[in-house]
Amino acid sequence: MAPHLFRVGSLLVDRDRWISSATVAVRRGRIVGLAAGDAAGRRLARKAGGAVADLGPGVLAPGWVDAHAHLELGALHGRLPARAFGAWVGQLVKARAACSREELRAGLRADADRLLAGGTTAVGDNDALGLAAGLLRRHPLRARVFREALDAGDPARTSAVLRRVQPGRPAPRLAFGVAPHAPFTVSPTLARRLATLARRRRLPLSIHFAESRDERQWLLRGTGPLARLMPGESPRREGLELLEEAGLLGRRTLLVHANLPGPGDRERIQRAGATVVHCPGSHRWFRRPAFDLAGWLEAGVPVALGTDSSASNAELDMGREVALAAEAHPAVDVAVLLDCATRAGAEALGLGTGRLTEGAPLDAYLTEARVRSRRAALELLVRGRPGIRAVLIGGERAWDDGSQVVPAILRP
Ligand SMILES: [Zn+2]
């Protein structure tokens, strides 16, 4: 079966490799050949046999990987004024309860479409309402849906929660995971049983961790704004200790936020091989103190980026997230930031994407702007928020700006 071939101004494979005048061969959605320069491109086309489509002078870049979203909260976009975490949680619960299933579904689709149009090709999505998998099964985005579990310390809820979080039927672009909501909202029994489920079914875990001062105050002392909302007793322990004890900390764990780790947490997380997920837009929304990105990276902890939800972010756009990270952390190299927003997230989500290497699925977006070097490509993609002409997922056109620069179907 002849592959599809196309030529593009340049192609960024990953943080380290940029190809000028690139030709790409794609078969069954995966990259099967890459050539640098026109002569090598003609040889690849002759060998593969087939016409070459020209995608123009822009950059073909690895699609963004949003390692943490709550697409089901799309309906709340722009509706929650609070910036203090405790008050925001209360508003969120009320506003979500006031939405019909239809509104929630429409919001979910709108947020998935927003992500896609911004060049995101894969998402790790927390699902508490049971709506996400049904929609994402029919959406071009590649997704890992983490079923969210929370019993607020009430043992009477544990069994029902466990039934609800069982993984669904996977699809070519849809996989499942488990999201114990946070160390302070999951009882020790539920935490242990979720760890067993994840181990048996080989599912990754996504956990909100050390997000706010309020959370830490309640976990360690049982005081602060969350004391009013939490029905049970404070464990008077560090969140990470609770996760470790339950068996929830390992290589397939994503720790979301990690704004306020306890003493020694960073080293324990590094040893466990877990990934930290930073959400720059949500961080700014709650006006949190500076995130220690350089500290995590220096400690050897992989850091992925995420959008969090439309209830705590002004936009759902990974290009904006990486630009916000670059603005807040000017000393961190743009190559490292690109890696956080692509490969690191993809590896943590276990999706086999995040780089445009041979054998990988062609999950990419195409920019309008052209560049003349790897450095210029990294600067453009990370800080420049370039206009996007088209988005490809699994070698198929998933979105375009109306220009139809990419042929409709690149399969087989
Ligand atoms: Zn979240």
Q: Is the pLDDT of residue 412 over 50?
A: no
Ligand 1 mean position, distance from CA 309 (Å): 7
Between 155 and 377, the higher pLDDT residue: 377
Q: Tell me if residue 375 falls in helix, strand or coil.
A: helix
Residue type, 333: D
In the block, tokens 């029994």 appear at: 189
**Using omega within 30 degrees of 0 as the cis cutoff, is the peptide bond preceding 155 cis?**
no
* H/E run at residue 206: strand 205-209
Q: Tell me if residue 72 falls in helix, strand or coil.
A: helix
Ligand 1 mean position, distance from CA 240 (Å): 17
Q: Is the pLDDT of residue 234 over 80?
A: yes
For residues 12-31, average pLDDT: 96
Q: Which two tokens stand for residue 131?
A: 């709506």
CA atoms within 13 A on the CB side of 55: 34
pTM of the model: 0.96
In the block, tokens 């990987």 appear at: 65
* H/E run at residue 120: strand 120-127
Closest CA to 277 of 306, 318, 251: 306
Q: How far is 395 from 25, CA to CA, in rounded Å? A: 10
Q: Do domains 4-62+355-400 and 64-349 have the same CATH topology?
A: no
Q: How far is 70 from 92, CA to CA, in rounded Å? A: 12
Ligand 1 mean position, distance from CA 192 (Å): 21
Ligand 1 mean position, distance from CA 308 (Å): 5
Ligand 1 mean position, distance from CA 211 (Å): 9
Ligand 1 mean position, distance from CA 207 (Å): 8
Whether the CB-CB separation of 267 and 242 falls below 8 Å is answered with no
Ligand 1 mean position, distance from CA 129 (Å): 14
- CA 394 from chain center: how many Å? 17
Ligand 1 mean position, distance from CA 378 (Å): 28
Q: Which two tokens stand for residue 315?
A: 């936009």
Q: Dihedrals φ, ψ of 202, to 5°?
A: 55, 50
Ligand 1 mean position, distance from CA 156 (Å): 25
The CATH classification of domain 4-62+355-400, taken from the options 2.30.40.10, 3.40.710.10, 3.30.420.40, 3.50.50.60: 2.30.40.10
Q: How far is 297 from 283, CA to CA, in rounded Å? A: 18
Q: Give the whole-number percent of the chain exceeding pLDDT 70.
A: 99
Ligand 1 mean position, distance from CA 256 (Å): 7
Q: Tell me if residue 383 falls in helix, strand or coil.
A: helix
Q: How far is 70 from 344, CA to CA, in rounded Å? A: 19
Ligand 1 mean position, distance from CA 311 (Å): 10
**Which residues touch 369 (CB under 8 Å, ≥6 apart)?**
58, 59, 380, 384, 386, 387
For residues 197-205, average pLDDT: 97
Q: Is the pLDDT of residue 410 over 60?
A: no
Q: With the C-alpha atoms ordered 118, 124, 130, 136, is the resulting torsion angle positive or negative? A: positive
Mean pLDDT of the chain: 94
For residues 349-373, average pLDDT: 97
Ligand 1 mean position, distance from CA 402 (Å): 33
Ligand 1 mean position, distance from CA 206 (Å): 9
Q: Which CATH class is domain 64-349?
A: alpha beta
Give the 3-state secondary structure percentages of the chain, helix then strand then coil, rounded to 5. 35, 25, 40
Closest CA to 115 of 93, 95, 143: 143
Ligand 1 mean position, distance from CA 384 (Å): 26
Closest CA to 55 of 358, 399, 409, 389: 389
Of 120-124, 285-289, 343-347, 383-387, minimum mean pLDDT range? 285-289
Query: Which pLDDT value is given to residue 406?
Result: 81
Ligand 1 mean position, distance from CA 373 (Å): 36
Ligand 1 mean position, distance from CA 147 (Å): 12
Domain ranges of the chain: 4-62+355-400, 64-349
Ligand 1 mean position, distance from CA 24 (Å): 37
Q: What angle do CA 322, 328, 329 make, to 5 degrees?
A: 85
Ligand 1 mean position, distance from CA 305 (Å): 12
Complete edge-to-edge strand list for the sheet that includes strand 275-278: 64-69, 120-127, 142-149, 174-180, 205-209, 253-257, 275-278, 303-305
Ligand 1 mean position, distance from CA 119 (Å): 21
The β-bridge partners of 271 are none
Q: Give the whole-number percent of the chain exceeding pLDDT 90.
A: 85
Q: Tell me if residue 57 falls in helix, strand or coil.
A: coil
